[in-house]
């Protein structure tokens, strides 16, 4: 049985503990700086106390405690934790983005190659039945050669306000730009589906709504301090957290744990936390600076074009994909669980997925956990494995998009990564 260490037991780390142990790995070592969250996971999986740490230094000083490690700390911590894990000799499953800095990604890539470490990055969409099927259809040649890919990442107004206005990914200096944090999945998918590298990248972006000048008169800093606009404002915490819609219900449990920072909490604790937590703030009085909308144009190898649009302003959180080939097209909406394949002057097909194939990143969270266990067993990456070397592609394109957005110039990738 393969053994696993996990560092960072927030939303993602706790979720990987569940899937990895369910699919046959043993959680044997943990590191989490919040003792309450650490204790919960330690108890759940009977992890020996001598292998549980609140300090990352003490954890890595113990050397290699398991076959593989999951790195699920925050974006800016991944670099340090990856470098320590590489030195110790762990095979790695690292959350995306690997780092908001190109130099750090390149150094990690170099070091894993040097040391023969297997490192997978959590581009979970690759492992979903939905994108797996799209990939199979493209590879079958039925739509001919891919000419263009159009990907639209509709973040969802409630998800954007939670993560990118009030939450962890609101500031570029603390995490990274939203086109990397949210859309490295989409940039990875553009590469994975076409297997074409980017040659030129350009991008524009904007912030329009979540700005101090849009704050309505009389709104307090915290929504629950009697905001007079509570009824009309879609971002009031009573709507986002306390009376969730069908779109936000799946996030209730993880949001409670995140906002209270407690393993278990009552609704009373939750409401109390919202009175002082960053997540309880008026969306017009947060210290956010990441883009709300961004469009990226990519000229890929062999005359293939791709565009990616990210927008905060959609009702639900989903991706639209359009792939045009020389002989046909694929048109999909992932959260609706269906896509169409139209072969020109030929067959039309609708492909549908069941509800279970749509939960938790379209089933990708479960499948990547299984794939990591398999990788540890066989040490042979599958064709879809999101290895570190492949991850460089999505991350470089996100960095180039940011450079373009800031400078107004088109970025030639061969010059950019010199």
Ligand X SMILES: NC(=O)c1ccc[n+]([C@@H]2O[C@H](COP(=O)([O-])OP(=O)(O)OC[C@H]3O[C@@H](n4cnc5c(N)ncnc54)[C@H](O)[C@@H]3O)[C@@H](O)[C@H]2O)c1
- Contact residues toward ligand X (CB under 6 A) are 7-13, 31-34, 37, 56, 72-75, 77, 95-96, 122, 124, 168, 181, 258, 361
The nearer residue to ligand X, 13 or 205, going by C-beta atoms, is 13
Contact 161, 155 (CB under 8 A): no
What's the closest the beta carbon of residue 254 comes to ligand X, in angstroms? Answer: 8
What's the closest the beta carbon of residue 94 comes to ligand X, in angstroms? Answer: 9
What's the closest the beta carbon of residue 388 comes to ligand X, in angstroms? Answer: 15
The 3-state secondary structure of the chain, one letter per residue: CCEEEEECCCHHHHHHHHHHHHCCCEEEEEECCCHHHHHHHHHHCCCCHHHEECCHHHHHHCCCCCCEEEECCCHHHHHHHHHHHHHHCCEEEECCCCCCCHHHHHHHHHHHHHHCCCEEECCHHHHCHHHHHHHHHHHHCCCCCEEEEEEEEECCHHHHHHHHHHCCCCCCCCCCCHHHHCCHHHHHHHHHHHCCCEEEEEEEEECCCCCHHHCCCCCCCECCCCCCCCCCCCCCHHHHHHCCCCCCHHHHHHHHHHHHCCCCCCHHHHHHHHCCCHHHECCCCCCCCCCCEEEEEEEEHHHCEEEEEEECCCCCCEEEEEEEECCEEEEEEHHHCEEEEEECCCCEEEEECCHHHCHHHHCHHHHHHHHHHHHHHHCCCCCCCCEHHHHHHHHHHHHHHHHHHHHCCCEEHHHHCC
The nearer residue to ligand X, 73 or 404, going by C-beta atoms, is 73
The nearer residue to ligand X, 371 or 413, going by C-beta atoms, is 371
What's the closest the beta carbon of residue 410 comes to ligand X, in angstroms? Answer: 28
Q: Which residue is nearest to ligand X (CB)?
A: 10
What's the closest the beta carbon of residue 225 comes to ligand X, in angstroms? Answer: 25
The nearer residue to ligand X, 21 or 54, going by C-beta atoms, is 54
What's the closest the beta carbon of residue 344 comes to ligand X, in angstroms? Answer: 35
The nearer residue to ligand X, 300 or 396, going by C-beta atoms, is 396
What's the closest the beta carbon of residue 97 comes to ligand X, in angstroms? Answer: 7
The nearer residue to ligand X, 297 or 316, going by C-beta atoms, is 316
The nearer residue to ligand X, 96 or 281, going by C-beta atoms, is 96
What's the closest the beta carbon of residue 366 comes to ligand X, in angstroms? Answer: 13
The nearer residue to ligand X, 4 or 411, going by C-beta atoms, is 4
């Amino acid at each position: 049985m393969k053994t696993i260490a996990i560092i960072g037991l927030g939303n993602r780390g706790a979720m990987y503990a569940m899937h990895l142990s369910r699919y046959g790995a043993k959680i044997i070592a943990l590191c989490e700086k919040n003792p309450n969250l650490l204790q919960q996971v330690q108890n759940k999986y009977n992890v020996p106390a001598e292998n549980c740490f609140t300090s990352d230094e003490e954890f890595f000083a113990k050397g290699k405690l398991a076959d593989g490690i999951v790195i699920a700390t925050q974006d800016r911590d991944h670099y340090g934790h990856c470098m320590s894990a590489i030195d110790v000799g762990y095979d790695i499953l690292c959350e995306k983005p690997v780092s908001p800095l190109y130099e750090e990604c390149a150094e990690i890539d170099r070091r894993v190659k040097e040391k023969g470490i297997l490192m997978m990055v959590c581009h979970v969409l690759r492992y979903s039945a939905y994108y797996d099927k799209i990939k199979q259809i493209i590879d079958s040649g039925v739509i001919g050669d891919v000419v263009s890919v159009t990907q639209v990442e509709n973040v969802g107004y409630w998800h954007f306000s939670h993560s990118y206005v009030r939450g962890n990914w609101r500031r570029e200096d603390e995490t990274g730009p939203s086109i990397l944090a949210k859309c490295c999945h989409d940039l990875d998918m553009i590469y994975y589906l076409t297997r074409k590298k980017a040659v030129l990248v350009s991008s524009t972006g904007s912030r329009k709504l979540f700005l101090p000048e849009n704050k309505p008169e009389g709104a307090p800093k915290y929504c629950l301090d009697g905001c007079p606009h509570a009824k009309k404002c879609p971002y009031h915490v009573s709507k986002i957290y306390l009376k969730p819609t069908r779109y936000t219900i799946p996030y209730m449990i993880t949001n409670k744990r995140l906002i209270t920072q407690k393993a278990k909490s009552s609704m009373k604790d939750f409401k109390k936390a919202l009175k002082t937590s960053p997540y309880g703030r008026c969306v017009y009085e947060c210290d956010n600076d990441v883009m709300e909308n961004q469009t990226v144009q990519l000229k890929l190898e062999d005359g293939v074009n791709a565009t990616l649009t990210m927008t905060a302003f959609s009702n639900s959180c989903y991706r639209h994909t359009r792939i045009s080939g020389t002989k046909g097209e694929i048109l999909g909406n992932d959260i609706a669980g269906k896509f169409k394949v139209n072969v020109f002057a030929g067959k039309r097909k609708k492909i549908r997925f069941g509800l279970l194939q749509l939960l938790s990143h379209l089933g990708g969270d479960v499948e990547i956990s299984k794939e990591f266990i398999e990788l540890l067993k066989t040490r042979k990456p599958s064709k879809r494995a999101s290895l570190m070397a492949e991850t460089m592609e999505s991350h470089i394109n996100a960095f180039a998009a940011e450079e373009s957005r800031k400078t107004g110039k088109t970025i030639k990738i061969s010059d950019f990564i010199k």
